[in-house]
A and B are shown apart, each in its own frame.
Chain A
Amino acid sequence: EDQVTQSPEALRLQEGESSSLNCSYTVSGLRGLFWYRQDPGKGPEFLFTLYSAGEEKEKERLKATLTKKESFLHITAPKPEDSATYLCAVTTNAGKSTFGDGTTLTVKP
């Protein structure tokens, strides 16, 4: 059975305090790993796609990396507007998508 586990469940940071979110996965035939951001009362917003181990993607203060077993979302010098729930999802070659439960990030000014 495909599994996606995100940690920590919640993370509180001071503005400017860099950190990383983890997404570990066990799937049969990974097609891609995806990061989404979800704000309260909104739908998830697509951030990144990673396809192979060693791949990295960056967007503003966010950088996503991928290994054969896990992905990290690094947040550099976060700002309060980065506060949100970050979701990781994997899609298999069979076309199945599985989402993790998310990490809720709070950045205090």
Chain B
Amino acid sequence: DAGVIQSPRHEVTEMGQEVTLRCKPISGHNSLFWYRQTMMRGLELLIYFNNNVPIDDSGMPEDRFSAKMPNASFSTLKIQPSEPRDSAVYFCASSKRGYNTGELFFGEGSRLTVL
């Protein structure tokens, strides 16, 4: 079975540019999560969706960040405009049930570098 698929795996951009990260969850999984990982702050939950509906976006840093899930098989995380402090590895994860059980299946991450 295919796991969670993220793209791009690596992104290098300049400050002020728009960045779009993409995620395809595991088929049949009802919940989707976006996490950010840095050395300083570890793994932080940004937002999670149940059945394509955003449930908790309290971890989204500021208005520059937005996330969408137009259907059960696709989600995007957008940063506009990007800043150097956004440099991190962004993970997408999915879960079988329609709520946050904690049993998450992670993608391999998108490493973002903002110059």
Chain A residues at the B interface, C-beta cutoff of 8 Å: 31-34, 41-46, 49, 87, 89-91, 95-97, 99-102
Contact = CB atoms under 8 A, between A and B. Distances in A.
B49 interface: no
B53 interface: no
A56 B7 CA distance: 37
Contacts, number: 54
B93 A43 contact: yes
Nearest to B31: A95
Contacts of A43: 4, 91, 93, 106-109
A71 to B, nearest CB: 13
Given A87-B43, A95-B55, A34 B103 contact: yes
Interface string B82-113: 00000000010100000111111111110000
A99 B42 contact: yes
Interface of B: 4, 42-45, 55-56, 91, 93, 99-109
19 contacts: A31-B101, A31-B102, A32-B101, A33-B102, A41-B109, A42-B108, A43-B91, A43-B93, A44-B43, A45-B106, A46-B104, A49-B101, A49-B103, A87-B43, A95-B99, A96-B45, A96-B100, A99-B42, A100-B42
A42 B4 CA distance: 12
Contacts of B102: 31-34, 49, 89-91, 97
Given A49-B103, A95-B55, A97-B45, 13 more contacts: A31-B101, A33-B102, A41-B108, A42-B108, A43-B106, A46-B104, A89-B43, A95-B99, A95-B100, A96-B100, A97-B100, A101-B42, A102-B42
B100 A99 contact: no
Contacts of A102: 42
A-B CB proximity, top 3 nearest:
A43-B106, A91-B102, A99-B43
B83 to A, nearest CB: 24
A91 B106 contact: no
A91 B105 CA distance: 15
